[in-house]
Amino acid sequence: MTGTVSARGRMKRLTDSAMGLVLLGSALVSVTIVLLIGLFTLKEALPAFRDIGLVRLLTGTEWRPGQDLYGLFAMIAGSVLVTLGAIVLGLPLALGCAVFLAEVAPAWVRAVVKPSIELLAGIPSVVFGLFGMVVLVPMVRGIDVPGNAGFGLLSASMVLAVMILPTIASVAEVALRSVPEEYRQGSLALGATRWETLRRVTVPAARSGMLAAVVLGLGRALGETIAMIMVIGNAVMMPEAATSNPLTIFLSRARTLTGNIAVEINYATGLHAAALFATGVVLFVLIMIVNASARALLASGMRRG
């Protein structure tokens, strides 16, 4: 009898350690894949860094593969501006949604609204692009500014704002809802209104999660490709204001880093292909910068208490 029990015990321990190994294995595979992708991109981009030079690659405003001119600055500006525009348009909306769902909406409203916002995240980006082309671009074209064709940063920012909305809204909502109810009750019991409680207790307590939401949204915005290609105009040019109003820069056509790769990789060879891989590396670094600054922001916020 004791023999069977201990045999079973040994079997259990064996399963346990086997499970540990399997899980470790899957973790290692994921890390390895990420590393390999990074290394491969870097390796393919190496000729570009060697023959063109990092500085010319990053600061050059001319991108003419036919003349072996590979400057990425216009595309960097395009990506940064379109992301900025998307954040300006989308962030207030997304955070408003999150606060509404987490703090204001009665249960049945949340049951309806939340899945519909999450549904937005499931729409393929090409459909967003289509919507942008057919609805937003003609609308933007109505703005009376010389040279405005509708395709450009503004249309792209609007499309992107809708695309990052579900990501930011749902992650921020989870962050708000995970704030302990005791905090809210403590604040209300001191005579604070719901709004004061939200502003002074709930949102600060959810700060790190809400920041994570914004970073996820930024990452998504910087990485979006097909929808951008469809509405941004894809011209390799430095975005510039058409009139004395600096905001008209958003009516300028542009190209994103992602779009640059997707549009040209099919026919690129040699140095041109390497320059496109270098574009990928720049994109990668840009996203790492966003993540790192979010982390730094978070750390300094923590220290302030």
Tell whether residue 189 is a contact of another protein (CB under 8 A): yes
Q: Which residue in the block uniquely carries the two structure tokens 């930011």? A: 168
For another protein, which stretch binds (CB under 8 A), given 12-20, 51-59, 164-172, 176-184?
A: 176-184
User: Would you state the structure tokens that stand for residue 81, as one six-digit string?
Assistant: 């501006």
Least separation in angstroms between residue 190's CB and another protein is 4
Choose between 1 and 107: whose C-beta lies nearer to another protein. 107
Residues 94 and 217: their CA atoms lie apart, in Å, by 10
Least separation in angstroms between residue 195's CB and another protein is 10
Least separation in angstroms between residue 118's CB and another protein is 24
Residue 271 φ/ψ, nearest 5 degrees: -65, -35
Tell whether residue 183 is a contact of another protein (CB under 8 A): yes
Tell whether residue 185 is a contact of another protein (CB under 8 A): yes
Q: Rule CB under 8 A: choose which of 16, 68, 118, 196 binds another protein.
A: 196
Least separation in angstroms between residue 110's CB and another protein is 13
Tell whether residue 300 is a contact of another protein (CB under 8 A): no
Least separation in angstroms between residue 201's CB and another protein is 6
DSSP characters for 47-93?
Answer: HHHHHT-HHHHHH---EEGGGTEE--HHHHHHHHHHHHHHHHHHHHH
User: Would you state the structure tokens that stand for residue 72, as one six-digit string?
Assistant: 């990425």
Query: Contact at 8 Å (CB) between 128 and 120?
Result: no
- The 3 state secondary structure assigned to 224-276 is CCHHHHHHCECCCCCCCCCCCCHHHHHHCCECCHHHHHHHHCCCCCHHHHHHH
Tell whether residue 187 is a contact of another protein (CB under 8 A): yes
Tell whether residue 73 is a contact of another protein (CB under 8 A): no
Choose between 203 and 230: whose C-beta lies nearer to another protein. 203
Q: Rule CB under 8 A: choose which of 140, 201, 218, 232 binds another protein.
A: 201
Least separation in angstroms between residue 115's CB and another protein is 21
Least separation in angstroms between residue 171's CB and another protein is 20
Choose between 49 and 183: whose C-beta lies nearer to another protein. 183
| Dihedral class, residue 150 (left if φ above 0, else alpha if ψ from -120 to 50, else beta) | left
Tell whether residue 103 is a contact of another protein (CB under 8 A): no
Tell whether residue 188 is a contact of another protein (CB under 8 A): yes
User: Would you state the structure tokens that stand for residue 281, as one six-digit string?
Assistant: 């590396």
Number of H helices, E strands in the chain: 14, 2
User: Would you state the structure tokens that stand for residue 85, as one six-digit string?
Assistant: 């525009």
The CA-based dihedral angle spanning residues 253, 215, 177, 161, taken in that order and rounded to the nearest 10 degrees: 0
Q: Rule CB under 8 A: choose which of 182, 244, 267, 269 binds another protein.
A: 182
Report how many residues bind another protein under the rule CB under 8 A.
20
Tell whether residue 297 is a contact of another protein (CB under 8 A): no
Residues in touch with another protein (CB under 8 A) = 106-107, 180, 182-183, 185-193, 196, 200-201, 204-205, 305
